[in-house]
Structure 1
Amino acid sequence: MTGKGETRWFEALRAVLDDSHLWQAGEVAGRVGAAVSPLGLRATIWLTDYEQMALRALPEPGRAAPEPLPIDGSLAGRAFARVRSLRGDGLRWWVPMVNGTDRIGVVEFVAEADQDADFVGKCELLAGLIGHLITTTMPRGDHLDLVRRSQAMSTASELLWRMLPPLTVSCERAVISAALQPCYEVGGDGFDYALDGDTAYVAILDAVGKGVTAGVACAVALAAIRAARRAGGGLAEQARAADEALTEHFTEVRFVTAVLAELRLDTGRIRYLNAGHPAPLLLRSGRLVRELDAGRRLPLGLADPRAQVGEEALEPDDRLLLYTDGVTEARTPEGEFFGVNRLVGLVERSAAARLPAPETLRRLSHAVLDHQGGPPDDDATLLLVQWSAAAALDTVPTTKAADV
């Protein structure tokens, strides 16, 4: 590419970044379109909905909004699922859009003429910038969030979604990914993580009950765990902080089941506390090795001075799957439970298909919903930790070929 061509791309990137300081959420699509137009490009931004079933286009001034695209069964969906740039018909490219490594959608680029060999790389750079800027713009108004919704959200869900971190985070040595269902009605389930130095901290929670009361209990426990962790407290101190917070803020007994864990990223050593929660599943080479059944204590909110921390040694590429009982206890109208065996079987098949961690959980959460054949009776949350440099690279956008 000539120096002039490089300058035009730089100007487009700078225009998007400069505009982002003052743009409103409803202006994003139009401003991005204006910035890339001098490059002979048309760009359409597609955001994933909360349930991760479809991609929804950001409306653009003067253009009718296209129909949502299904993630399962469309080329755009394949680009999203695999975090891989894919070529469509003619001069059309579907480029994954992430915030860090959290999948938020795709950008559809259509060129007016043939481009140079580095064209896709430049599109990935632009899509990455757009992804970051959409994330920073989201809290400014309701527009972008409304694009992602296919239905109204409950009060409890509004509360919890604002408390939770992005669904996926990666570093050079690990991936942590989560999925929640039903995303518009979730109440008592939650999760948390932090990647700091050589340690990854994770937590999954399930507050007893339903609706706002359960959501508040989960939020209180989650905030207490974060506060204790950020003050330097270990797993036992985090659990005690949650006990005290739940006792202080609820007049009646209110408890939350949870798993709190910390993984050493340099050695693979994991330490964990299980507060009345389903045991985490350890998978190695795509197969279940065992349940982690140590580190037991009473649910959060019920002080347990006898609690002891469990320990386990992971091997490179191991997966640790945490889940709430709404997953395994999901049942068909005839009463058949989803069960641990079905869950493990699906995870093992996803490993054989080399699915990225977030795509594994997306498909698992949908399998739980499909099994029930209707609205779920309980929240169903999944959290996957993979100690693997290769798995981390699978969450970074690229043009590397991959099957779905």
Structure 2
Amino acid sequence: MTSANWYKVLDELINRGHLAAGGDLGRIVRDALATHVGVDGLLYVSDLPQRHLHPLGTDAAAPVAPIAIDGTRAGRSFQRVEIFRDHDPETGTPVLWVPVLNGTHRMGSLRVVPPEGADPDDATLRQHCWTVGGLLGHLIIAKLAQSDALHRARRPRPLTVSAELLWQLLPPQTFATPDMTVSAVVEYYDEAGGDGFDYTADGRLGHVAVFDATGHDLQAGLVCSMAMAATRNARRVNETLAGIARRADTVLREHAAETRFATAVLATVDFDSGVLSYLNAGHPPPVLLRDGRIHKMLDEGRRMPLGLQHLDDADPTLPGREQLRPGDRILLYTDGVTEARNDRGEHFGIDRLVDIVERESEAGLPPPETLRRVVHAILHHQRGELHDDATLLLLEWPTPRHPKLLPSEALRPADDRAVAHGHPARSPGRLDPT
């Protein structure tokens, strides 16, 4: 398994990928690995609620069962964004589980069975597998919009039309640059009514937003979609936060029913100064997390919900401002999170929410895994039956220098990472001892 042979794997994936349908990716990677490096590979994609990994490109006559993300080695690889060693339960053959990433967004896992006699702990083997996993993540995203087969693989249950609409508009659930990390999650994923999130990072400014439209039907999805499109449209012509909100007001008042509106938080962070500016359009206040606990609720910059501000009225609302410190995190959420009730009528509440976020973060989990577990805790609180959409978004400034968040950084030489970060480095290819 020379580097030249691994290059041939990448070459085949890229060139066959140009004319491939999404449902072909599992077969293409399996063929390329077997032909050029003698590796048995099976591609799995995560479903939207991030509860199972589903195989792609398997023989219909010999179906392969999905793998639970919780409680399995494959799932731990997905959760922690690391290569994990496992073994085949029938043959005892060593197996590697390799994260499949689009940037920092977790798309699934690649099951790799090295050829007989190969060392599964070999650093070079793991580096090559890591690179293949990164390429596959990009290919999945490139093919997703035109592939019903990929969409079906990611849906344990059919979506409502409203959820179908919103999932086409939402950006990836995890995004990172050296200046910020954003992780977000939406539940009910399959019946999403009117919740949404958005973000962007260009130049020295980052934007984040969370939306919650009234209702739990297709009209709610339409209102949320219009609000997202209007704010993106204004943002892309460099409008101020006030101008972005006013654009959404205009669109919703002209095209939505009179009783329909959307609450939202619209925020920017200046990467150089660390100044957070935000408008709160009738939404629950964001939480500033500092040093492992709630520092304050961000309750300034309040204005009417989007679509309720009269277009002929001057908008006197000034954005709230907060000076962030490096390592600060901003938690945005919809009321479906904090107002979730259990059988005794107890709200999930902000304190419980922040406690879980901090506890899971201190356990060394990446932000997307932290939020995935928060959503599962909310579902458990309501015995698996939410009564409203629940959306969470976690913004970190700047991006913590940690290999779990930046795959490219994880591939740097260990000595360089240790010096840069001031702590022992972890390679994506390390053998997890547990």
Question: Per the shorter chain, which TM-score range?
Answer: over 0.9
Q: Is the 8 A contact 2:58 2:64 kept in 1?
A: no
Check conservation: 1:82, 1:402, Cα contact below 8 A: no
Matched, 1:390 2:400: yes
Runs of 4+ in 1 over 4 A off after TM superposition: 400-404
Q: Which residue of 2 aligns with 1:30?
A: 27
Structure 1 counterpart of 2:384: 374
TM-score, with structure 2 as normaliser: 0.89
Does 2:74 match 1:76? yes
In structure 2, what is the Cα distance between the partners aligned to 1:234 and 1:371? 39
Say if 1:270 and 1:311, in contact at 8 Å, map to a contact too.
yes
Q: Which amino acid aligns with 2:48?
A: Y
2:145 partner SS: helix
Counterpart of 2:336 in structure 1 is 326
For 1:316 and 1:403, locate their aligned partners in 2 and report how far apart those are by CA, in whole Å. Answer: 32
Q: Does 1:15 align with 2:12?
A: yes
Q: Distance in 1 between matches of 2:402 and 2:376?
A: 23
Separation (CA, whole Å) in 1 of partners of 2:432 and 2:208? 29
For the residue of structure 2 that corresponds to 1:279, the secondary structure is: coil
Cα distance in 1 for residues equivalent to 2:5 and 2:360: 42
In 1, Cα distance between the equivalents of 2:364 and 2:157? Answer: 32
Q: Is the 8 A contact 1:275 1:297 kept in 2?
A: yes
Worse overlay, 97-106 or 113-122: 113-122
Partner of 2:429: 399
Instruction: Give, as a single letter, the amino acid of the residue that structure 1 aligns with 2:379.
Output: L
2: CA distance, partners of 1:108 / 1:284:
38
C-alpha distance in 2 between matches for 1:400 and 1:327: 36
Q: How does 1:238-317 map to 2 (within 5 A)?
A: 238-303=244-309, 305-317=315-327
- Structure 2: which 5+ residue stretches go unaligned? 88-92, 408-427
Deviation at 1:181, TM superposition (A): 0.2
Instruction: Determine the structure 2 residue equivalent to 1:357.
Output: 367
Equivalent residues of 1:257, 1:276 under 8 A apart: yes
2:188 to 169, 179, 182: 182
**CA distance 1:402–1:385, shift in 2 (3 Å):** farther
Alignment deviations for residues 62-81 of structure 1 (CA, whole Å, 9 cap, x no partner): 76232111111111111111
Residues 357 and 386 of structure 1 are in contact (CA less than 8 Å); yes or no, is this contact kept in structure 2?
no
Deviation at residue 176 of structure 1 after TM alignment: 0.3
Number of equivalences = 401
Deviation of 1:172 after TM superposition, in Å, equals 1.1
Distance in 1 between residues matched to 2:399 and 2:189, nearest whole Å: 30
State the AA in 1 paired with 2:212: D
Q: Does 1:92 align with 2:95?
A: yes
Q: Residue by residue, what CA displacement relative to the aligned partner does 1:137-178 show, whole Å, maximum 9, x if unpaired?
A: 112220011011111110000000001100010001221010
CA distance in 2, matches of 1:117, 1:83: 16
Contact 2:176-2:399 within 8 A present in 1 as well = no
Contact 1:189 1:379 in 2 (8 A): yes
Q: Deviations over 1:351-402 (max 9, x none)?
A: 2212211111101111111111132111000000011332564223423577
CA distance, structure 2, for counterparts of residue 294 and residue 401 of structure 1: 47
The AA in structure 2 aligned to 1:143 is: A
Residue aligned with 2:277, SS: strand
Q: Is the 8 A contact 2:86 2:96 kept in 1?
A: yes
Q: Give the C-alpha shift of residue 247 in structure 1.
A: 0.3
Structure 2 counterpart SS, 1:271: strand
Structure 1 gap ranges (5+):
none
Q: Once the 2 structures are TM-superposed, how far is the Cα of residue 29 of structure 1 from its aligned partner? A: 1.1
- Deviation, structure 1 residue 295: 0.7
Q: CA deviation at 1:253?
A: 3.3
CA deviation map 1:76-124 (0-9, x unaligned): 1111111111111243111111111110111111012214540000000
Measured after TM superposition, the shift of residue 59 of structure 1 is 3.2
Contact 1:168–1:176 (CA<8 Å) still a contact in 2?
Answer: yes
Cα distance in structure 1, aligned partners of 2:138 and 2:327: 28
Alignment match, 1:196 = 202
1:24, 1:141 within 8 Å by CA — same for their partners in 2? yes
3-state secondary structure, aligned to 2:31: helix
Secondary structure of the residue aligned to 2:106 is strand
**Percentage of matched positions with identical amino acids:** 43
SS of 1:252 mapped into structure 2: coil
RMSD of aligned C-alpha atoms? 1.6
Work out the CA distance in 2 between the residues paired with 1:87 and 1:259.
42
Question: Residues of 1 paired with 2:79 and 2:257: CA distance?
Answer: 45
Query: Do the aligned residues in 1 keep the contact of 2:194 with 2:220 (CA within 8 Å)?
Result: yes
Give the TM-score taking structure 1 as reference length.
Answer: 0.96
Match of 1:132 in 2: 138
SS of corresponding position for 1:32: helix
Q: Is the 8 A contact 1:356 1:391 kept in 2?
A: no
Match of 1:162 among 159, 168, 171: 168
